[in-house]
Structure 1
């Protein structure tokens, strides 16, 4: 599968579609989910054209990998949900059809601000 340059996150990265931005640096963009599933529901996406975690782990540079992980931590702190400043959160990446991935651009969901509940139902 090749990267779809017309997916919604690619359009957000190109500023063709607005987002409620939380954080941005050279490696990631984070914004609030338009259909939140918990009190706090944010997305953190790498700026590179990666379909999913498998694609990212095989093709991203070390700097992009570190940048994504640091970006997740920075966003969690900004939202007050990291264990350093809050009560914790869930970071979730859906991969592929069976994993429930809806947008073919690698991304993490950050859920927090309340107990998240069971991991899988």
Structure 2
């Protein structure tokens, strides 16, 4: 998909927000929803999405949605750091297929990194164990300030 297009209500993140698909929830408030990536690039890979948006990418989003969203990203990133003690953290966001975007609902990736541990490729690899994701989600959620 290109940078332009129509928001599809059937995307997996929209289904998660409507409760039609399960997830390992980390955090939720009135504007933001965070959950574990089921195809993690590293242990603790967390996704943060806006709850009330039909934006496919950052370029389409209303600034009024971006302000609480980026504050939510920062809040969850701090919790990931506190819970997992990584050596570094990648915060990334893709716009369009050529960039690597695979789900067309605006979202941010929070990916903990440890020295000497390779990071997996985006949107590839095997699905994580749901029980392990639940434990990680609980560990991170316990550190949300």
TM-score w.r.t. the length of structure 2 is 0.69
Partner of 1:25 in structure 2? 29
- The answer to whether residue 11 in structure 2 is matched with residue 7 in structure 1 is yes
Task: Let me know the Cα RMSD of the aligned residues.
Answer: 2.2
Structure-1-length-normalised TM-score: 0.82
Q: Gapped runs of 5+ residues in structure 2?
A: 120-145
Structure 1 distance, partners of 2:86, 2:63, is 31
Q: Report the CA distance shift for 1:74/1:89 in structure 2 as closer, same or farther (over 3 A).
A: same
Structure 1 stretches of 4+ with a deviation exceeding 2 A read 85-88, 115-118
Say whether residues 1:39 and 2:43 are aligned partners.
yes
**Larger helix share, 1 or 2:** 2
Aligned partner of 1:104 in structure 2 is: 104
Number of residues of Structure 1 aligned to a counterpart in Structure 2: 112
Question: What SS is found at the alignment partner of 1:80?
Answer: helix
Within 2, Cα distance between the matches of 1:29 and 1:15?
Answer: 12
**Which has the higher relative contact order, 1 or 2, with Cα contacts under 8 A spaced 6 or more apart?**
2
Structure 1 unpaired stretches of 5+:
none
